[in-house]
Chain A
Amino acid sequence: DAGVIQSPRHEVTEMGQEVTLRCKPISGHNSLFWYRQTMMRGLELLIYFNNNVPIDDSGMPEDRFSAKMPNASFSTLKIQPSEPRDSAVYFCATSLTRTGELFFGEGSRLTVL
């Protein structure tokens, strides 16, 4: 299996621009998580889905962030408008329900100037 696939791997944008990050989960994994990692705060859970349904979005920092999972093979995380403090590595991870073993994608490194 190809693993969790994220795109883009790197994104540099200017403040105020819209950013869309994409994730293709491992086939058969029914839970999908979006994490953000920074040096100061470590790995923070933003939102997770189970069977394409958002279960907990309490980690989404504010209304500028939104996430969708229209089907079992695709999810997006959108930031609009982006701000410099959004600069981080965004990871998508998937798992079989309730195993606790997350399989991470390679991450999308976002830099907002």
Chain B
Amino acid sequence: QKEVEQNSGPLSVPEGAIASLNCTYSDRGSQSFFWYRQYSGKSPELIMFIYSNGDKEDGRFTAQLNKASQYVSLLIRDSQPSDSATYLCAVNDFGNEKLTFGTGTRLTIIP
């Protein structure tokens, strides 16, 4: 059974600081890794994906992947109150459409 673990939080970060969200996964065969953001009462939306070890940057967001440690993280620089949401980590095997989600980390940015 594929498992994806996240700290449920809540994680509180001052506005303008860096928010760091972490995720571990159990299946070494996992190939693709995704971060979804879910605002309260809304549906999840994709913000980043990463396939290769290392860092991937997109604006204020950086995804980091370490397959040897089975660890993926999301950094949010210059955190804004609008970043307050639950962040869901998801993984799948290459070519497999099934996404397994973690339970999410609730992030609160404090003005």
Contacts and interface: CB of A to CB of B under 8 A. Distances in A.
B60 to A, nearest CB: 20
A15 B45 CA distance: 32
B42 A106 contact: yes
Contacts of A101: 34, 46, 49
Contacts of B46: 101-102
Binding site of A, secondary structure by majority: helix, strand, loop or mixed? strand
Contacts of A91: 43-44
Interface residues of B, number: 22
A113 interface: no
Interface in A55-113: 55-56, 91, 95, 97-98, 100-102, 104-107
Interface residues of A, number: 23
Contact of B98 (A48, A104, A106): A48
Contacts of A105: 43
A111 to B, nearest CB: 15
Nearest to B51: A100
Contacts of B90: 100
A43 B43 contact: no
B92 A106 contact: no
A63 to B, nearest CB: 21
A107 B97 contact: no
A53 B46 CA distance: 25
A55 B103 contact: no
Contacts of B59: none
Contacts of B102: 42
Given A42-B88, A50-B97, A104-B43, 20 more contacts: A31-B97, A41-B103, A42-B104, A44-B101, A45-B98, A45-B100, A48-B97, A55-B97, A91-B44, A98-B96, A100-B32, A100-B92, A100-B97, A101-B34, A102-B46, A104-B44, A105-B43, A106-B42, A106-B43, A107-B43
Interface of A: 31, 33, 35, 41-45, 48, 50, 55-56, 91, 95, 97-98, 100-102, 104-107
